């Protein structure tokens, strides 16, 4: 399509009716398709005092969300802040443990009850429980060489929407004493040793030594549960531990989102204590190296190598379109909020805007699971609304996350509104990992693009709009018509 034709397709839309008090988005904007879909803003990745880095009580965070007119709040306190370093001999006994404030220490049942109580006090904001989880960590270096390094402890996944305390308790995470299989086989030999020692003691007092040895071996097995070996050696096992966690959460009905995968903060070793360091390299390849996760954090720390046009996100989506990846991957906005204005982050500065049938946990989880949402990084002055992002073919219309069969009249529509008419924006629509169309215009604007060519198999379209803040659209799919 030529640029002039594209310009003619950019239709200015009257903005006169879009006044009123500013909010992140307007719930009374025209619904994109079904009249029963409404927009809800979802703020996620928020830490309360339950996390060691938290600074604000959970009830105060919910009150802030209400003040900011956020519809859905997903607090994600750290699940487990526990690290153990064991010597190679009797590592279950000769070990140092650091155990800091976290959801497991607080008690999963307490955590869920606290959220339910706050939900009653602040009914205006739907609160969905979440966690921030590092599936595993590794130790590099050696204490005697002065370079012992806790490695990979900042590779985080958000786990969203689990409701049962039992599911929290058993989450497969290294150093969670409740996780893994009961190791009865490993107890057989130590127990036999103890029994043999007791029998020997009848005639030979030194049999006590055998009893002590057997008892030490039993103690060494505590907490008598162990996860698969790949949880104890990240370097040689890639993302297997993370995949294990993703699959477990998936079976329990929760969602998993890779957090801050490009964050450079920990790529240089940071001293924890004397000669003990911590280090986590950026891990953008998580998007490709794991499957069936719900998505990744585009903001923050996921836009440079993953979210960029032709980046790792596009590679994952292309894998999906080629039939090599079962589920698509969605872009999320997550705050990593610990208090208002810390690092310039406010609770309403970055939201996911989900199209839901109702404001309920089930409906919001369904929208996030299905990709029926977009990311909005607010500039605080201009309330941008993605009024339409849809693909029509024949009588069918698809929103993001959905798939249509191609027909000759297939067309893509994007419409962006704002109470601040005249705001200039620049947009890019990406098709199958390649920049397909760009457009510049003033808000409000609408772009309609015909899709004349039938896909070879399955195509996808996604967009990024910059100007007053940023909108990141999740992909819509169109496939070859089977008829």
How many CA atoms are closer than 13 Å to the CA of 223, on its beta-carbon side? 13
Which of 38, 156, 174, 437 touches Zn ion by CB under 5 A? 156
Residue closer to Zn ion by CB (options 158, 429) is 158
Q: Which two tokens stand for residue 304?
A: 């440079």
Closest separation between CB of residue 268 and Zn ion, Å?
17
Asked whether the beta carbons of 432 and 407 are under 8 A apart, the reply is: no
Residue closer to Zn ion by CB (options 257, 386) is 257
**Which residue's beta carbon is nearest to the bound Zn ion?**
156
Closest separation between CB of residue 298 and Zn ion, Å?
15
Closest separation between CB of residue 158 and Zn ion, Å?
8
Give me the sheet containing 385-393, strands edge to edge: 10-12, 445-450, 411-417, 385-393, 396-398
CA atoms of 213 and 210, how far apart (whole Å) = 5
3-state secondary structure of 159: strand
How many residues sit close enough to Zn ion to count as binding (CB under 5 A)?
2
Stretch that binds Zn ion, among 62-70, 251-259, 368-376, 471-479 (CB under 5 A): 251-259
Q: Which two tokens stand for residue 184?
A: 């009865």
Q: Name all contacts of 25-29 with Cβ < 8 Å and 24+ positions apart.
A: 25/353, 25/376, 25/383, 25/384, 25/385, 26/383, 26/385, 27/71, 29/385, 29/387, 29/417
Closest separation between CB of residue 76 and Zn ion, Å?
9
Helices 58-67, 108-121: axis angle to 10 degrees equals 40
CA atoms of 366 and 353, how far apart (whole Å) = 13
Closest separation between CB of residue 174 and Zn ion, Å?
16
Contact characters 211-250, Zn ion, x per CB under 5 A: ----------------------------------------
Closest separation between CB of residue 331 and Zn ion, Å?
17
Contact characters 100-139, Zn ion, x per CB under 5 A: ----------------------------------------
CA atoms of 305 and 339, how far apart (whole Å) = 28
Closest separation between CB of residue 242 and Zn ion, Å?
14
Beta-ladder partners of 477: 403, 460
Asked whether the beta carbons of 245 and 172 are under 8 A apart, the reply is: yes
The phi, psi pair for 439, rounded to 5°, reads -145, 145
Stretch that binds Zn ion, among 28-36, 149-157, 270-278, 455-463 (CB under 5 A): 149-157
Asked whether the beta carbons of 415 and 473 are under 8 A apart, the reply is: no
Stretch that binds Zn ion, among 52-60, 148-156, 180-188, 214-222 (CB under 5 A): 148-156
Residue closer to Zn ion by CB (options 189, 343) is 343
Q: Is 78 in the site for Zn ion (CB under 5 A)?
A: no
Residue closer to Zn ion by CB (options 314, 339) is 339
Q: H or E stretch including 413? A: strand 411-417
Closest separation between CB of residue 329 and Zn ion, Å?
19
Closest separation between CB of residue 219 and Zn ion, Å?
34
Helices 207-220, 184-201: axis angle to 10 degrees equals 160
Beta-ladder partners of 140: 149
Which single residue is written with the structure tokens 């169309």?
Answer: 437
Closest separation between CB of residue 300 and Zn ion, Å?
10
Q: H or E stretch including 447? A: strand 445-450
**What Rg, from alpha-carbon coordinates, does the chain have?**
26
Residue closer to Zn ion by CB (options 78, 320) is 78
Asked whether the beta carbons of 11 and 448 are under 8 A apart, the reply is: yes
Stretch that binds Zn ion, among 63-71, 107-115, 252-260, 391-399 (CB under 5 A): 252-260
Stretch that binds Zn ion, among 3-11, 232-240, 256-264, 438-446 (CB under 5 A): 256-264
Stretch that binds Zn ion, among 61-69, 152-160, 316-324, 406-414 (CB under 5 A): 152-160
Quote the distance between the C-alpha of residue 72 and its chain's center. 15
Residue closer to Zn ion by CB (options 283, 461) is 283
Cα angle: 23, vertex 24, 28; to 5 degrees: 70
3-state secondary structure of 302: coil
Residue closer to Zn ion by CB (options 162, 414) is 162
Residue closer to Zn ion by CB (options 156, 437) is 156
Q: Binders of Zn ion among 28-57, rule CB under 5 A?
A: none
Closest separation between CB of residue 169 and Zn ion, Å?
21
Stretch that binds Zn ion, among 186-194, 258-266, 420-428, 471-479 (CB under 5 A): 258-266
Stretch that binds Zn ion, among 17-25, 150-158, 407-415, 463-471 (CB under 5 A): 150-158
Q: Burial level of 423, CB count in 10 A (0-12/13-18/19+)?
A: buried
Residue closer to Zn ion by CB (options 338, 347) is 338
Closest separation between CB of residue 155 and Zn ion, Å?
9
Q: Which residues bind Zn ion (CB under 5 A)?
A: 156, 259
């Amino acid at each position: 399509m030529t640029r002039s034709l594209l310009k003619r397709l950019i239709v200015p839309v009257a903005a006169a009716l879009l006044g009123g008090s500013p909010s992140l988005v307007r719930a009374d904007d025209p619904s994109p398709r079904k009249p029963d879909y409404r927009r809800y803003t979802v703020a996620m990745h928020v830490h309360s005092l339950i996390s060691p880095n938290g600074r604000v009580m959970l009830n105060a965070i919910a009150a802030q969300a209400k003040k900011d007119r956020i519809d859905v709040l997903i607090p994600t306190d750290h699940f487990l802040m526990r690290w153990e370093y064991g010597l190679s001999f009797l590592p279950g006994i000769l070990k140092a443990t650091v155990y800091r404030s976290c959801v497991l220490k607080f008690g999963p049942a307490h955590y869920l009850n606290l959220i339910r109580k706050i939900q009653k006090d602040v009914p205006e904001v739907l609160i969905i429980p979440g966690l921030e989880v590092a599936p595993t960590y590794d130790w590099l270096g050696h204490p005697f060489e002065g370079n012992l390094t806790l490695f990979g402890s900042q590779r985080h996944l958000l786990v969203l929407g689990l409701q049962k305390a039992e599911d929290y308790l058993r989450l497969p995470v290294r150093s969670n004493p409740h996780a893994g299989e009961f190791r009865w086989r490993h107890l057989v030999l130590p127990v036999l040793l103890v029994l043999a020692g007791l029998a020997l003691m009848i005639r030979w007092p030194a049999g006590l030594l055998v009893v002590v040895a057997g008892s030490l071996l039993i103690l060494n097995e505590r907490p008598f549960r162990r996860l698969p070996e790949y949880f104890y050696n990240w370097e040689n096992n890639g993302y297997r531990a993370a995949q294990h966690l993703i699959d477990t959460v998936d079976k329990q009905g929760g969602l998993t989102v890779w957090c801050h995968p490009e964050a450079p903060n920990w790529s240089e070793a940071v001293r924890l204590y004397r000669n003990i360091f911590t280090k986590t390299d950026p891990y953008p390849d998580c998007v490709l190296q794991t499957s069936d996760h719900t998505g990744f954090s585009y903001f923050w720390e996921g836009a440079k190598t993953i979210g960029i046009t032709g980046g790792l996100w596009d590679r994952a989506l292309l894998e999906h379109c080629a039939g090599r990846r079962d589920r698509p991957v969605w872009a999320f906005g997550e705050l990593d909020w610990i208090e208002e204005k810390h690092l310039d982050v406010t609770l309403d500065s970055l939201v996911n805007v989900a199209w839901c049938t109702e404001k309920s946990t089930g409906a919001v989880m369904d929208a996030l699971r299905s990709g029926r949402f977009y990311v909005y990084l607010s500039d605080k002055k201009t309330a941008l609304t993605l009024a339409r992002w849809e693909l029509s073919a024949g009588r069918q219309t698809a929103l993001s996350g959905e798939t249509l069969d191609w027909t000759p009249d297939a067309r893509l529509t994007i419409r962006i509104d704002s109470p601040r008419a005249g705001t200039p924006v620049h947009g890019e629509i990406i098709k199958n990992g390649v920049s397909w169309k760009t457009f510049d215009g003033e808000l409000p604007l609408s772009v309609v693009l015909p899709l004349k060519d039938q896909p070879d198999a399955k195509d996808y379209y996604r967009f990024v709009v910059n100007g007053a803040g940023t909108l990141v659209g999740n992909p819509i799919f169109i496939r070859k018509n089977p008829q």
